[in-house]
Structure 1
Amino acid sequence: MVSSSGSSEKSATSKDVLLDFLAGGTVAPLERVKLLLQTQDVNHKIAQGKKYKGFGDCFVRCIREEGTISLWRGNWANVIRYFPTQALNFAFKERYQKIFANYNPKSDPYKFFFGNLLAGGMAGATGLLFVYPLDFARTRLGVDIGKSVNERQFRGMNDCMAKIYKADGIRGLYRGFSISVAGIFVYRAFYFGGYDAGKKFMFGDNPNPSILYRFLFAQFITSSSEFLAYPLDTIRRRLMMQSGRGDIIYRGTVDCARKIAVTEGLTAFFKGNLSNMYRSVGSSLVLVLYDEFKRWLLLAGQSSYAK
Structure 2
Amino acid sequence: MSHDDSSTPAIVSLLAGGIAGAVEATATYPFEFAKTRVQLREQKGVPTPRNPFLVVANVYKTEGLAALYKGCSTLAVGSVAKDGIRFLSFDYVKETFKDPETDTLTPLRSLGAGMMSGIVASLLAVTPTERMKTALIDDARTEKRFRGATHAVVTVWKEHGILGLYRGFAGTTLKQAGATAFRMGTYNILKDYERTRQIPQTVVTNFANGCVAGIVTTLATQPFDTIKTRCQSSQGASTVEAFKSIIADYGMKGFWKGTSMRLGRTVFSGGILFTTYEWAAALLNPAFAKAKQKVPI
Question: Which band: TM-score by shorter chain?
Answer: 0.7 to 0.9
TM-score of the two chains, using structure 2 as the length reference: 0.82
- The answer for the alignment partner of 2:36 in structure 1 is 35
Q: Structure 1 pair 301/133, CA: closer, same or farther in 2 (3 Å)?
A: closer
- Over the aligned positions, Cα root-mean-square deviation in angstroms equals 3.1
Q: 1:155 to 1:196 in 2, by over 3 A?
A: same
Counterpart residue identity of residue 177, structure 1: F
Deviation of the 1:71 alpha carbon: 0.4
Q: Which moved more, 1:288-297 or 1:49-58?
A: 288-297
CA contact (8 A) 1:81 1:134 kept: yes
Q: Distance in 2 between matches of 1:264 and 1:237?
A: 15
Structure 2: state its 5+ residue gaps: 1-6, 293-297
The alignment-based identity, stated in percent, is 20
Say if 2:259 is the partner of 1:290: no
Match of 1:241 in 2: 233
In structure 1, runs of 5+ residues without a counterpart are 42-46, 245-249
TM-score normalised over the length of structure 1: 0.80
Instruction: Call closer, same or farther: CA 1:238–1:97 in 2, change over 3 Å.
Output: same
Q: How many residues align?
A: 284
Alignment partners' CA distance in 2, 1:276 and 1:258: 22
1:174 paired residue among 166, 173, 188: 166
Indicate how the Cα distance of structure 1 residues 39 and 105 shifts in structure 2: closer, same or farther if over 3 A, else same: farther
**Match for residue 113 of structure 1?**
107
Aligned residue in 1 for 2:83 = 86
Shift of 1:196: 1.1
| 1:1-307 matched pairs, under 5 angstroms | 10-11=11-12, 13-41=14-42, 47-54=43-50, 55-99=52-96, 101-104=97-100, 112-131=106-125, 132-146=127-141, 152-204=144-196, 206=198, 208-241=200-233, 243=235, 252-280=238-266, 281-294=268-281
Q: 1:139 to 1:85 in 2, by over 3 A?
A: same
Deviation at 1:275, TM superposition (A): 2.4
Q: Please tell me the residue identity of whatever aligns with 1:27.
A: T
**Does the CA contact (< 8 Å) of 1:35 and 1:139 recur in 2?**
yes
Distance 1:130 1:300, change over 3 A: closer
Q: Is the 8 A contact 1:105 1:200 kept in 2?
A: no
What is the distance in 1 between the residues matched to 2:128 and 2:94? 27
Aligned equivalents of 1:212, 1:124: Cα separation in 2: 26
- Distance of 1:83 and 1:214 partners within structure 2: 20
User: 2-side partners of 1:296 and 1:157: how far apart?
Assistant: 32
Q: Distance in 2 between matches of 1:293 and 1:207?
A: 21
| Cα gap change, 1:155 to 1:172, in 2 (>3 Å) | same
